Amino acid sequence: MLEKQNRIALISVDGDPAIEIGQEEAGGQNVYVRQVGLALAQQGWKVDMFTRRSSKEQAAIVQHNANCRTIRLPAGAPEFIGRDELFSYLPEYVKAFQAFQQQHGFRYSLVHTNYWLSAWVGMRLKQLQPLSQIHTYHSLGAVKYRNIDEIPAIATKRLAVEKACLETAERIVATSPQEQEHMRSLVSTTGQIDIIPCGTDIDRFGAIEREAARQQLGIAANEKVVLYVGRFDKRKGIETLVRSVARLHAAGRTNLKLIIGGGSQPGRCDGRERDRIEGIVGELGLDTITVFPGRLDDRILPVYYAAANVSVVPSHYEPFGLVAIEAMASRIPVVASDVGGLQFTVVPEETGLLAPAKDDVAFAQAIDRILADSSWARKLGERGRQRVENHFSWQGVAIELGHLYTTLNSATVETSRAIAA
């Protein structure tokens, strides 16, 4: 049966858009798929977000609203399987996707795949039915592997899939000019790339005053709050932040408060990273000024941003970095690593400061400049808010994606007609 013209499948095998965000393997990609899906649905698209069932308790379908749902298909046992182990289950996933289409009597003509595992799924589906594939990488193996010590066994496969996808997908979505440059210089010189950034919820962030937020969190007016939000992962560079705060502490800056927000589970990768970070906090004598509030849910996250003096994103590598624009939407200056998408979102001296990744001396200096001048900090925050309103709302992102889908959809329908004729 001919697929509905405005139907789109967002495929994110490993990043479930309907689960809790902010812990192991659940971060920006999950937020992206969910928010893009919801915003597209508001604009009239029928959106099906496909992911993998990773526990027996999970519903097979989560209906977010009349036009947007998450569909969980099987691939391996319904339990947590790390990204690096998922690849061998993907043929089963493709079969389940086909069975779903069969059962519902339509085929998707557009799929927007997310991360390299789903890129493979999209490429395989293209061999089985006429469709256009749009792909967002979220992370590039070619960049990631330059920044880590242990290269996993799956690396060769991943790099090959990422190259094939760039060369064959109807369109690649780079979320920043920096990511596009990495694709061109490190992955392939062929393939069609559009730059469409990630977005953020401009109504949810920036609606609370600092004083009210601090009252709610029990933070005194004279405390200087340095905030980290994100997963516990070595690539996130939390150690750099802790060491930079230790420098400020040792240099005599008073009333410092370091908040490290993010979920973790004991015994898992993120639990081990949290233990390591807590160890460093202890060694450097920062216990009394550091708090670990755990995973920050949707309701409380805007309150933490609002309460902060500065938000720090010390990643070693960051394809986009949602946290930076969430902080900016909350009128909080950002100190971020001078890498990847952070070079695009954070405008140095305008909305925050950039420092070389892993350089705790430079981070300490940048944080100190912001803490030392509250009126300048306020200006940085206001300009950050303006920048997000102008460039990074989910509605704006979804409009751009919608245009892209419409163009490609017409092309696919034309091709299917020609094949059928």
Contact residues: ligand UDP, CB under 6 A? 21-22, 27-29, 31, 229-231, 261-263, 295-296, 301, 320-323, 326
Return d(Cα 99, Cα 73) in angstroms, integer.
Answer: 10
Q: Which amino acid is at 354?
A: L
Nearer to ligand UDP by Cβ, of 314 and 381: the residue is 314
Amino acid letter for position 189? T
Alpha helices, DSSP H only, in 192-268?
210-217, 238-250
Strands 61-65, 290-294: parallel, antiparallel or unpaired by DSSP? unpaired
Nearest distance from C-beta of residue 31 to ligand UDP, angstroms: 4
Q: Residue 294 Cβ, how far from ligand UDP at the closest point, in Å?
A: 7
Q: Tell me the two tokens of residue 294.
A: 């755990």
Instruction: Give whichever of 22 and 333 is closer to ligand UDP, judged by the CB atom.
Output: 22
Q: Which residue has 């569909």 as its token pair?
A: 71
From the CB of 235, what's the least distance to ligand UDP, in Å? 8
Q: Rounded to the nearest whole angstrom, what is the least distance from the CB of residue 138 to ligand UDP in the complex?
A: 7
Toward ligand UDP, which CB reaches closer, 199 or 381? 199
Can you say how many angstroms the Cα of residue 198 is from the centroid of all Cα atoms in its chain?
A: 8
Which of 10/229 has CB closer to ligand UDP? 229
DSSP 154: T
Token digits of residue 68: 């947007």
Kindly tell me which of 277 and 408 has the beta carbon lying closer to ligand UDP: 277
Whether 311 contacts 333, CB under 8 Å: yes
Backbone angles phi, psi at 257, to 5 degrees: -135, 125
HSE of 64, CA atoms in CB hemisphere, 13 A? 22
The residue of the chain with the least Cβ separation from ligand UDP equals: 27
Q: Min. distance of Cβ 61 from ligand UDP in angstroms?
A: 23
Q: How far is the CB of 300 from ligand UDP (least distance, A)?
A: 9
- In whole angstroms, the minimum distance from the beta carbon of 264 to ligand UDP comes to 9
State the DSSP string of 218-231. T--TT-EEEEEES-
Exposure string over 44-68, b if 16+ CB within 10 A, otherwise e: ebbbbbbbbbbeeebeeebebeebb
Q: Which is nearer to ligand UDP, 124 or 295 (CB)?
A: 295
Instruction: Indicate the residue among 237 and 262 with the shorter CB distance to ligand UDP.
Output: 262
